[in-house]
Chain A
């Protein structure tokens, strides 16, 4: 097996061009899947026997909560790769992840709150799941704040990467909080082991929506990554070509 593809992914001009070509594929497939998933969730899925039509909030709550964790994982891994191998593109990926992850963590918390009020009778409770998800938002914000405090992009990359890597500890805490502790938040209905606890007619739109939001994040990441790469490249001849 050759490793040329891996080396190419560290090359800013190659990634810049590749990202530009891939963006519409991710963007349009995401649009189709999100529309289909949300239509399925809002209109086609049967109401829940306990939560009635209120359960339809999960079709936006679960995908955004999923994004909040997935994006942080990508950010932490990219930051670690950037720190260890000093790869500029990896730092650019981490920087591109943060604002997207932060905004969807906020949406996951807000939609969770809107779900919590009619079901639990309160907007907020300090349970492990909710508290660790709130900490996730603060980690994203700390990461962005730390970046903003440096004028020099390279120093911002290295300092913020340390925070991103340390914060990864929180990701399994958020995910397993409902298993480890007796949380008010219900346990996962969707699992990788296939023991899903939802009816198929409810589950399919949720999976479609989650896949749609994942591809949507991919499209955002590709666009942001190109911007972050341009910011990091000074006086590179390929930029003249790329912007022509």
Chain B
């Protein structure tokens, strides 16, 4: 395996497929990053809610 492109411009042009290749990669990476954010947010909210429940229980006792 070796580098297939001779210049950055040639790499960015992707043959004549730049308009299809780059949006595919961009969208995929966007959703990859969003999923990390969403998963961490879910856990953070669940931890926050669990802490609240613990505090409410302690107040009741």
Q: Are B21 and A56 in contact (CB under 8 A)?
A: yes
| Size category of the binding interface on chain B | 35 or more
Chain B, range 8-61, C-beta contacts under 8 Å to A: 11, 14-17, 20-21, 23-25, 27-28, 31-32, 34-36, 38-40, 42-43, 45-47, 49-51, 53-54, 57
A243 at the interface (CB under 8 A from B): yes
| Contact yes or no, A38 B17, CB < 8 A | no
Query: In the complex the two chains form, is A53's CB within 8 Å of B54's CB?
Result: no
Inside 8 A of A103's CB, which chain B residues have their CB? 31, 34-35
Q: Report the nearest A residue to B16, measured CB to CB.
A: A52
A61 interfacial contact with B, CB 8 Å: yes
User: Contact at A223–B49, with CB atoms within 8 Å?
Assistant: no
B40 adjacent to A230 (CB under 8 Å)? no
Residue ranges of A at the interface with B (Cβ–Cβ < 8 Å):
34, 38, 40, 42-47, 52-54, 56-57, 60-61, 64, 99-100, 103-104, 106-107, 110-111, 114-115, 117-118, 201, 204, 216, 220, 223-224, 226-228, 230-231, 233-235, 239-240, 243
